[in-house]
Each structure stands twice: as C-alpha cells, then as structure tokens.
Structure 1
Amino acid sequence: MITNNGHKLAFYVAPGRLPAIVLDAGGGLDASYWKKIVPVLAKSTGSEIITYDRSGEGLSGDVPGPWKAQNAVSDLAAGLAQLGATKNVVLVSHSLAGEIATYFVRQHPHWITRAVLVDASLPEFYTDSETAKLVAANEQQIAAIKGQPQTRATRQLLAIAEDYGPAHLAYHQQAWPQNVPATAIVSSQTPFTTASDAQLWRQAQQEFVSAAPNRRLVVAQHSSHDIPVDRPDVVINAVQETVKQVR
C-alpha cells in the first residue's frame, strides 16, 4: 500500500528484471483487468510487472471531488518512486489511462523508455466539436445517475463527468513527447457505436502515430474497446516487441 496526498493506493508487483512493465487499466477498472496478461508477460519477458488500483478502484481509497488526470499522475509517480521503478519503464495504458500516460511522460520524461497505448484516449480526439458532442451526450446519463442511490462505481462516473468538458479541451492542447517511442493499438470496433465518432477515434490514433517516426499503429481485429480481454495476444505481442527494443 502506497500513501500519496493522504490516501492509500494498492500496487501489485511480480518481481523481475528491467525494464519494468507498468500496466494501467481504463476508467472504472482495477488491476484485475490485466489478469490474462500479467502471468504471460512475466514468464515471456522476465520483467518486473507492476499493476495498481487507481484511487476509487479496487483496494485503493476514494478521493472526493472531480477526477483529474494530473492527480492520477501524482498517484502513479508516488507508487513507482517507492517501488524504485523510475527508469527504463515500459508503460502500457488502456483507454482513460492514455490521458494519465500523456501527462505522465511530459512530467517524467526520463522514467518512461517506451509506451504501448491500448485503444487509448489521445489528445487528438478531443476537438472542440467532439468534446461538446460528448458532454451533451452524457448529460442525460449523468442526470439519471444523480437520481439514483450512490455506489462507489457511480461516484467514480460522476467524478469523471464533473469537469469533463474543460478538462478535455485542455487535454487537446497536449502532445506526446517526440523522444518517447510508442505503439498505439486501436480496436476494430472502437469505444463508439456511431460511425462518425468511431471514425474520429481511428483518425486520432493515426494522427498520433503519424506525428513522429518512432511510433507505430497496430489494429486489433475482431476486438471491442476491451482489447486486453478480447485480444490479449495483441497486447502481449506489442509489449514483448517493445521490451526487446529496450534490451
């Protein structure tokens, strides 16, 4: 258990050698999300594998107020610092964790040697028009949740929604550092059911990869947004290749 800014966070470590592989799950998910992947990577790479429960998930404590990626960066950095994983880290981030990864590598550029972004939420996606569309689409759902008895899961949803528009307009202005190589894995289905949103998601992934020569795009065929569950082999292969490039 790691303490940061007054709350506790649960980190889980499979011992091994460098580079350490850090797995960060998407919104509403905890370390157990990687259960199909951790044992395979531990055996095939021999690397130290680190997973954790973000605040409000799993065994980690709740934090009141709106969810902020910068606070999540602080939590992850505190855990990795205490575990001594502050160099040669391969960061694997799914969905919402892509926002944490983007801010993290900007703040700690010498900690992360390479990244694998798994259908990650990337800055390129959050244009003014798309952000406004998402905020409007979420309003009805958020209103319904507010009228229900609150659970830990609904409190987390409300925390993410509270500052969603301004937070993502600011996120749109961020850029992944040119010196940190990355593999972007995009699902064939994307997180969206509407064709226009799905196309913009794919376009954002392609724009991200095209912005630097040390990035590549992998398509996870026959997969929903939950690539680590539907196609763990795609994630495992990408991480294995990344580790080979570090060693």
Structure 2
Amino acid sequence: MKTYILCCLFFWIGIISAYGQVDTLLDVGSYKLHIKILKGKGAPILFESGGALDARQWDSISNILYNKLNATIITYDRQGFGKSELDTSKYTILDEVKGLEIAIKKLGYANKNILLACHSLGTFYSSLYAFRHPHLVKGIIMLDPRLPSLADMRFARSVFTKIKRSDFRREDIGLYYVLARMEKNSDFIRGKNIPPNIPVLGIMAEQGPFDDKEENDRFQSDLKNLIGKRINANLVRAPGSSHNIPLDKPDLVISEISNFYKKYLNQSK
C-alpha cells in the first residue's frame, strides 16, 4: 500500500510539473497570499480581480490564454479573499501591492516584462503596480475599470456610512475592510498616474455596476476621459455585458488580451 501511495504521489507531481502549474500559499511577511501560476515560455500576464472577487474570476479564460499564447499566467487572491490571509494592521493598498511584489519576487518574475489585466477595483492595484514598475509593465488591459477621482471618493464615503462591521460574516470580512479603505485608497491612487509610456486598453461594459444611473454615467465617463487623454490608448465596448465582463464575454476578453499581448509582449521573456 505504501508503495502504491508513493507511486500515485510521484505521478501527480509529475503531472503538475509537466504542465507547469503552481498553486501555493506564499509568506509575504505578516500574512500569506494564495497564488496560482500556469508557467509558459512567454512574458507573464498578471490578473487583478474585481472587488469582492478572487482568482477564480479568471478560471474561464486563464487556461485558454495559456494554451493560445504560451504565456505565463498569474492569478491570485488579494488579502482577505479566497485562500489568502488577512492582516488588518497592514491593510492599505500600498501594503497589499508590496506584498504582491514580494510574492512575484519569490516566484522569480520580479525583473520580467509583464502585462497587467484588471477588472473593476483591480484597476487600483494594477495602476499602482505600473506606477512602481514603469519599465517592466508593457501594457494594461482594464475591464470596466473603477478609476480614482474626487467623485469616486464621495461615492465610497457614502457607501461606507451605510454599513456596519457586524453586517459581515467572518468569511466575508475582507470585503468590509475593502469598503472601509476605499475612500483613502481612491485618494492615494489619484496621485499615482499610470506612466505615459504604458499602452492602455479599456473595455467598457454596456451595463454599469451601480443601481444609480448618474453614478454609472460617471463611471463610464471616467474611462472615456482616461483613454482620451493618453497617447497610446484605445477603448473597446462590450455590448450586452454586465459589469463582470470576464464572466459575460469571455471570448471578447480572450481575443482582446491575445491581440494586445501579441502586439506588445510577444518578444518579451
């Protein structure tokens, strides 16, 4: 029986190694981050999930992109979500991105050219990562992005005043801390502009994320304004899509990421 178990163990280790898959918890200081990697020969694509979502958001497209591009695919659960731990004493967006940087370094990708793909609130994190690594980030694809502004700060403040910590179950407490920090994080990211050398693709959903039409109009106008002000930026629309474009329009997302990757990162390793 012992021999059989060992044989099975080595068989599955071989399968994981052969396909270059990593699924691990990495110590990044005062907490652990859950990271999944599909190891390809091409430059990595780092995905940032939307608010209240974890790495599973990208499951429907990550394997397809891996096979299509032979790119390294990196997805992870942000602090307090999925399988990642939460340290409430170090819960600022800067601390979160520093934790991600530690993980990326441990995995051997700290000095690699990289493409960032982000959804909604994940854009805050991708923007800060690009600000801190302007020469390594070769492009950002934003899926219905949340963008920092004074209006966004006011909206975040109004949302937080309506909730209480006791409203959240233990397994959902990460969302409480996201909402608690939202106004300050938006203010912080307002001063961290994406470097002008980085190409940007914005993909806009037909339906906004909010119940209020005025807020949805503002949300979409922010993206249009961002794209309009940049030299190397384009806007693509996702007709019929809700705010969660990766879920509603995976084929569109796969196509746009593939084309963008081939244009800007195909020669990067």
> What is the alpha-carbon distance in structure 1 between the residues aligned to residue 178 and residue 77 of structure 2?
16
Are the counterparts in 2 of residues 66 and 162 from structure 1 also a CA contact under 8 Å?
A: no
Q: Which moved more, 1:65-74 or 1:103-112?
A: 65-74
Q: How many residues align?
A: 240
Question: Pick from 159, 169, 174: which aligns with 1:150?
Answer: 169
Over aligned residue pairs, what C-alpha RMSD do you find? 1.7
In the TM superposition, what is the alpha-carbon distance from 1:193 to its structure 2 partner?
2.1
For normalisation by structure 2, the TM-score amounts to 0.83
Distance 1:82 1:66, change over 3 A: closer
Secondary structure of residue in 1 paired with 2:52: coil
1:74-153 correspondence runs (5 A) = 74-85=98-109, 86-123=111-148, 126-127=149-150, 129-140=151-162, 142-143=163-164, 146-148=165-167, 150-153=169-172
Are the counterparts in 1 of residues 160 and 180 from structure 2 also a CA contact under 8 Å?
A: no
The residue that corresponds to 1:179 in the other structure is 197
Distance 1:149 1:46, change over 3 A: closer
Q: Which moved more, 1:195-204 or 1:59-68?
A: 59-68
Runs of at least 4 residues off by over 4 Å: none
Secondary structure of residue in 1 paired with 2:88: coil
Secondary structure of residue in 1 paired with 2:243: coil
For normalisation by structure 1, the TM-score amounts to 0.90
The residue that corresponds to 2:240 in the other structure is 222
The residue that corresponds to 2:222 in the other structure is 204
Residues 82-107 of structure 1: CA deviation (Å, up to 9, x unaligned): 22223221111111110011111111
Higher relative contact order (CA 8 A, sep 6+): 1
- Percent identity over the alignment? 25
Q: Which moved more, 1:79-88 or 1:44-53?
A: 79-88
Question: Pick from 51, 60, 65: which aligns with 1:36?
Answer: 60
The residue that corresponds to 1:72 in the other structure is 96
Secondary structure of residue in 1 paired with 2:98: helix
Are the counterparts in 1 of residues 30 and 87 from structure 2 also a CA contact under 8 Å?
A: no
Distance 1:4 1:19, change over 3 A: same
Unaligned runs of at least 5 residues, structure 2: 1-24
Unaligned runs of at least 5 residues, structure 1: none
Secondary structure of residue in 2 paired with 1:36: helix
